[in-house]
Amino acid sequence: MILITDGGSTKCDWIAIDKNGNQVDQRIRTKGLNPAILSEKKLNKIIRKSKELMAMSTEVEYVFFYGAGCGTDNPREMLKEILEQIFPNATVDVQEDTMAAVRSTINSNNEAAVVCILGTGSNCSYFDGETLHQRVKSLGYTLMDEASGNYYGKELIRDYYFNIMPHTLKLAFSHKYNLDADYIKYNLYKQPNPNAYLASFAEFMFLNKDSDYIKELIKSGLRKFTEHMILQFKEELNTGIPVHFAGSIAYFSQEEIKEVAEEYGYKVGNFVRRPIEGLVDYHIKNL
């Protein structure tokens, strides 16, 4: 049995397939498993809490885990060791979530493309058809992650408190969320996964996309992401390669992404909301 995992900071999707490429069961979902943020104890607890995963723990022969926070050695190795303990008969391969985005968006295995993730967090890489290249190391949701869910959540809360948000939207925002200052600070500084908490506010944008304020907010974040991340591969983009996008923020911002891409002169390729489906197809083809 092969277990394929798309692990974000907010949620984690697991799909098991047999050696013939057939899906064994329904998709399994757990809480997010970002090893750059969560402790070893917390990661262990989240995985072991899933009865479905524990029921198949000894049957799994390969685990392909693609996850947020797995781009640096220490977090990646910690999660790999945890997975090897939980699935003792499995060969475990842990890679960063960017590779999941690559494999789920490119049109062929050797296609060159710039691939972006806009989900709870954000990232951007160049895939030359064989190797993944990154020129900016992510410093996480506090300093980077522009145009991500947590970026937009932060901007919405700031605009609400600084009275930049239009009055009618302020009323709607306050009705949808608990905006008490102490409650917000508690979730940001006392609870795990503050990035996922911030990202939970991003849904508000897509419920109010008819607002000029919201449209400009989305495009402003995309312009920053373009200038700081996508255009680091300007030389490669000049050859005409596409820019693919994965993640829910990207999926629901397709119109704005295309408008910003036109401003900066790059070609938009594919959009994938959930990389897990593309990953299953990839691994079935490569069984």
Report, as an integer, the average pLDDT of 219-238.
Answer: 97
Q: What local confidence, expressed as pLDDT, does residue 225 receive?
A: 98
Domain assignment of residue 120, yes or no: no
| Helix axes of 212-228 and 254-264: crossing angle, nearest 10 degrees | 50
Domain assignment of residue 210, yes or no: no
Among the residue ranges 42-46, 135-139, 216-220, 239-243, the one predicted with the least confidence is 135-139
Q: What strands lie across the sheet with 2-7, from one edge to the other?
A: 28-31, 11-17, 2-7, 62-67, 91-96
Q: Going by DSSP bridges, is the β-strand pair 28-31/113-118 parallel, antiparallel, or unpaired?
A: unpaired
DSSP classification of residue 37 = T
Domain assignment of residue 78, yes or no: yes
Domain count, the chain: 1
Among the residue ranges 20-24, 200-204, 207-211, 257-261, the one predicted with the least confidence is 20-24
Q: What local confidence, expressed as pLDDT, does residue 286 receive?
A: 75
| Cα distance between residue 117 and residue 98, in whole Å | 7
Contacts with 242 (C-beta within 8 Å, 6 or more apart), sequence order? 113, 114, 267, 268, 269, 270
Q: Which residues pair with 268 in a beta bridge?
A: 243
- Asked whether 208 and 218 are in contact (CB, 8 A), the reply is no
Domain assignment of residue 37, yes or no: yes
| Cα distance between residue 14 and residue 46, in whole Å | 13
Computed over every residue of the chain, the mean pLDDT equals 93
Q: What local confidence, expressed as pLDDT, does residue 20 receive?
A: 82
55 CB-contact burial (10 Å; exposed 0-12 / middle 13-18 / buried 19+)? exposed
Domain assignment of residue 196, yes or no: no
Question: 186-215: string of b/e by CB count within 10 Å (b at 16+)?
Answer: ebeeeeebbbbbbbbbbbbbeebeebeebb
User: Tokens standing for 239?
Assistant: 């050859």
Domain assignment of residue 34, yes or no: yes
DSSP classification of residue 27 = P
Q: What is the CATH number of the domain that holds 95?
A: 3.30.420.40
| Cα distance between residue 177 and residue 43, in whole Å | 28
- Asked whether 228 and 199 are in contact (CB, 8 A), the reply is no
pLDDT band at 150 (very low <50, low <70, confident <90, very high): very high
User: Tokens standing for 167?
Assistant: 């009055």
Residue 137 has pLDDT above 90, yes or no: no
Instruction: List the domain range (segments joined by +) for residue 10.
Output: 2-100+276-285
Domain assignment of residue 93, yes or no: yes
pLDDT band at 277 (very low <50, low <70, confident <90, very high): confident
Domain assignment of residue 19, yes or no: yes
